[in-house]
């Protein structure tokens, strides 16, 4: 049997997805999503009170894992390998 891994456990609560996606669109729109942006997104999540963490440096994986739920659920396009991401129609509706 295969196990699904959607959004890792970083998002934990599905009620956090909508406000986090809104924050992602507001702060990361029109930008790549490499390690510096992943760290910046984690810092934005912390500042907004959506994540309780003291990893304001060296925590890019926290931002990436949280945002991976958006990609895996089809809310944004793939940003891997230097691609620019975009919000999908599903993400706009959500």
pLDDT tens, position by position, 34-56: 899 999 999 999 999 988 888 88
Residue with tokens 């456990």: 9
Spatial separation of the C-alpha atoms in residues 83 and 1, rounded to whole Å: 32
pLDDT tens, position by position, 7-36: 666 666 778 889 999 999 999 988 888 899
Please check the confidence at residue 92 and state whether its pLDDT lies above 70: yes
Spatial separation of the C-alpha atoms in residues 34 and 40, rounded to whole Å: 10
Q: What is the pTM of this model?
A: 0.84
């Amino acid at each position: 049997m295969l196990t699904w891994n959607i959004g890792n456990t970083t998002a934990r609560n599905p009620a956090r997805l909508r406000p986090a996606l809104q924050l992602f669109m507001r702060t990361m729109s029109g930008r790549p999503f490499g390690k510096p942006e992943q760290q910046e997104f984690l810092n934005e999540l912390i500042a907004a009170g959506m994540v309780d963490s003291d990893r304001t440096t060296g925590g890019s994986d926290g931002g990436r894992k949280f945002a991976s739920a958006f990609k895996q659920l089809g809310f944004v396009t793939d940003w891997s390998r230097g691609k620019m991401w975009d919000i999908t129609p599903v993400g706009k509706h959500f």
